[in-house]
Structure 1
């Protein structure tokens, strides 16, 4: 089990999501990076960590 979700894990999850849907991994990774950048600008600390975890779950559950 993963103890802490980080940016790299979210980006990897985005690429895996794209592969499952036969979409561009590069575009999915770029989109995820833009989302991460926006979250980082708006949130700090625990809020940012929770948002990353939510984003990670969304990629893995869809």
Structure 2
């Protein structure tokens, strides 16, 4: 089975700089997400179309925390 890149970003501004990125087998992604996400919330799944082999985009450094 093909591996896909699973990337999760949060819409909540408190978690703006947090995210999860991993590779997982395509058929196991939905089961994995159901097992880790709280059942009391609703989620939107966006599937990106496969792009030609491109270099990974470097993530910008997160701003320092303000205390």
Asked if Structure 1 and Structure 2 have the same fold, meaning a TM-score greater than 0.5 normalized by the shorter chain, the answer is no
> Which protein, 1 or 2, shows the higher relative CO under an 8 Å CA cutoff with sep ≥ 6?
1
Report which of the two structures shows the higher radius of gyration computed on alpha carbons. 2
> Which of the two has greater strand per residue?
2
TM-score category of the 2 structures, normalised to the smaller one: under 0.3
Scaled by the length of structure 1, the TM-score of the pair is 0.26
Quick check: which one's helix share is greater?
1
